[in-house]
Amino acid sequence: MKWLSELDDIKTPDSWIEDTLNMTSRKEDNRGRRREEKRGSVVKMHKGAGNIVKAAVVAGVLIAVSGGSVYAYNQYVAKYSMSNTASSLDHMGQSVDEDGNVYSYDAAQKVNETAVSSSDALSVEATNVITEAHQAVITLAVKSKNGEPIVYNDETRLSYPARQRFETAMVIVDDVPISGSGVSSGVWVQRVDDASVPSEARFELTVRASSVDFAGKDMKVRLTNFVDSWEVTKGIGFSYDSVADILAQGKAADSSSFKKVEKGKYADGSSQYEYALNPGSYKIKFSEQYPDAYIDNMGFGPRTDYDNTNAFYITVVPGRDADALEKLCFQNKTTGMMYNSTSIRKLDDGRIQVSVSPNQDRQYSRTNSGVYQNSTTDMLKNYRLVLNNPDKEPLTGNRYEGTWEFTVKSDESQAVADRVLKDLDITPDITSNYAVTGIRQVTLTDTEFAMEFDTDYTKWGNDKTLFTKFQKSIKIVMSNGSKISLGNKVGGGWSDRETAAEMDGRLPTFIDADDAVGIEIGGHLFKFE
């Protein structure tokens, strides 16, 4: 089975999150290519009220700390506009369609249960719960008790809110403990707010077990140790205001200046490619700290052989600083996030290559709507060049140690039945546009979408874009006229030797399935009875 979830090919530090939360009960071999989070060694950062290592930034002044005590704390000064690259996973938020119609999910049960905790620094409150037959989703409000930021946000250290988590999470239902992250059973906790309030966060806890009916049950939740992950930045004495100013020193190379480099194989044996920029004739100095290094070429070229969009590349002749400059990367000046869209760093001739794509950076990305974008000169005005953790510091640790325990009881009336469409009489244009020859079943719940369909597998094998086009044509039509797109939360697959195909996964916004009128496919509405 070939897996076609586009997100697997977006090289963001948090791509694994969306894939992890795509937790429908498909067989393991339908899961496809995975990305595993690369975790650094663990260092304890807080204990109780705050066991801060290194230093604190207070009103722009660096305050020393020692022995687990902060000697001064007044006003938190943020260096960057903090963003959560997983805020699109806020399933209990709003959806706005192309016509401006707004759909708000308000069917979740309110619970407001404050956790009993051994920590005097961090509080956790369960605020809402939604239950389906074999899963429940609980929203958690997390706050520091003294208003202290729960993120790093300064010149050299920046938290990844999307990676903040609890070290362990367990839910007990009917004396059955559920934990881990298996195919059909487990507990997942994900931060989903926009990270605009430094001392607060909102999480979604999802518990799933194929052997448990969660409706009307007491769910005893136990969380331990609040874990933070961060990036470490080191400046290079960047000589320009932005990368756009570097581009203004010459002319951007076009796609003819790039060569293909094989990086691996797809599951079907076909080659995966990345691209390397050929040597150029420029000698553009860019760093006061590394005066021997210079940029010899730059330009817009292909990012991968998969999404057909470009990235912006530079290649650096490093001189005697090759080892240090292998950590060179682009940094968004507004959010502080760092990016390099290719795994090729050191080329065969010794040059260092770095690149950036808007599809990595959620400030510019539209991938939640299934749309990929090209890099632009205007985008480059918000980037500079820095080093990414050149000293190989630990990048994760326990920010708050403790346990948080609470019990949530779901309302049995919350249990929802599947909405199902079978054997759809599809129109000829659906077949001609997407090479889909039949739709056997569509299943919709408050939280998930699934479809079983048939394809012209020869055309699907030759055109990797057909799945994306078909998926983007599908919308859930609500009674108020709103249309909920599937985005890239729903993946799918098919076999080279069979016509049978499937797609399934979490909806980008939870809905009241009883309020759904039908499913729109390729502009045609198929109504529920």
* Per-residue H/E/C for 269-322: CCEEEEEEECCCCCCECCECCCCCCEEEEEEEEECCCCCCCEEEEEEEECHHHH
Among 257-266, 304-313, 353-362, 394-403, which stretch is predicted with the lowest mean pLDDT? 304-313
Burial of residue 25 (number of CB atoms within 10 Å: 0-12, 13-18, 19+): middle
Distance, in Å, from the CA atom of 321 to the CA atom of 289, rounded to the nearest integer, reads 10
Q: Which two tokens stand for residue 520?
A: 């729109």
> Is pLDDT of 265 > 90?
no
Question: pLDDT per residue over 309-358, tens digit each?
Answer: 788 999 999 999 999 999 999 999 988 888 887 777 899 999 999 999 88
Q: Which of 313, 326, 329 is nearest to 275 (CA)?
A: 313
Distance, in Å, from the CA atom of 328 to the CA atom of 276, rounded to the nearest integer, reads 16
> Is pLDDT of 114 > 80?
yes
CA dihedral 448→453→459→462, nearest 10 degrees, is 40
From residue 67, how far is each of 76, 137, 427 by CA, in Å?
21, 39, 71
From residue 279, how far is each of 263, 283, 295, 296, 353 by CA, in Å?
20, 11, 10, 7, 11
Distance, in Å, from the CA atom of 451 to the CA atom of 491, rounded to the nearest integer, reads 10
Q: In a 3-state reduction of DSSP, which class is residue 440?
A: strand
- Note the pLDDT of residue 497: 60
Higher model confidence: residue 99 or residue 224?
Answer: 224
Distance, in Å, from the CA atom of 475 to the CA atom of 477, rounded to the nearest integer, reads 6
Distance, in Å, from the CA atom of 22 to the CA atom of 17, rounded to the nearest integer, reads 9
Binning pLDDT at 50, 70 and 90, where does residue 360 land? confident
DSSP 8-state symbol, 367: G
Name residue 384's amino acid. Answer: R
Distance, in Å, from the CA atom of 88 to the CA atom of 92, rounded to the nearest integer, reads 10
Higher model confidence: residue 517 or residue 271?
Answer: 517
> Is pLDDT of 123 > 70?
yes
From residue 139, how far is each of 111, 125, 202, 324 by CA, in Å?
10, 8, 7, 43
Question: pLDDT per residue over 219-260, tens digit each?
Answer: 999 999 999 999 999 999 999 999 999 999 999 998 899 998
Q: From the CB of residue 98, how many other CB atoms can be counted at a distance below 10 Å?
A: 9
Among 268-277, 369-378, 416-425, which stretch is predicted with the lowest mean pLDDT? 369-378
Contacts of 378 (CB under 8 A, 6+ apart): 244
Q: Which domains does the chain have, with CATH numbers?
A: 50-81+416-527 (no CATH), 111-231+395-414 (2.60.40), 243-381 (no CATH)
Distance, in Å, from the CA atom of 295 to the CA atom of 408, rounded to the nearest integer, reads 58
- Note the pLDDT of residue 365: 58
User: How would DSSP label each residue in 144-190?
Assistant: ETT---SS-BSSSEEE-GGG-EEEEEEEEETTEEE-SB-SSEEEEEE
Question: pLDDT per residue over 423-451, tens digit each?
Answer: 999 989 999 999 999 999 999 988 889 99
Place of tokens 């010899």: 296
> Is pLDDT of 43 > 60?
no
Distance, in Å, from the CA atom of 230 to the CA atom of 150, rounded to the nearest integer, reads 12
User: How would DSSP label each residue in 207-243?
Assistant: EEETT---TT-EEEEEEEEEEEEEEEEE---B-SSSH
The number of C-alpha atoms within 13 Å of 29 and in the hemisphere containing its C-beta is: 4
Place of tokens 């400059």: 325
- Give me the helices (H) in 284-427, please: 322-325
- C-beta of residue 409 within 8 angstroms of C-beta of residue 217: yes
From residue 229, how far is each of 14, 166, 338, 445 by CA, in Å?
11, 11, 14, 34
Among 59-73, 180-194, 277-291, 385-399, which stretch is predicted with the lowest mean pLDDT? 59-73
Question: pLDDT per residue over 468-520, tens digit each?
Answer: 899 999 999 999 999 998 876 788 877 656 788 899 988 888 888 999 999 99
- C-beta of residue 85 within 8 angstroms of C-beta of residue 339: no
Mean pLDDT of all residues in the chain? 80
Q: Answer left, alpha or beta for residue 202, where phi above 0 means left and psi between -120 and 50 means alpha.
A: beta
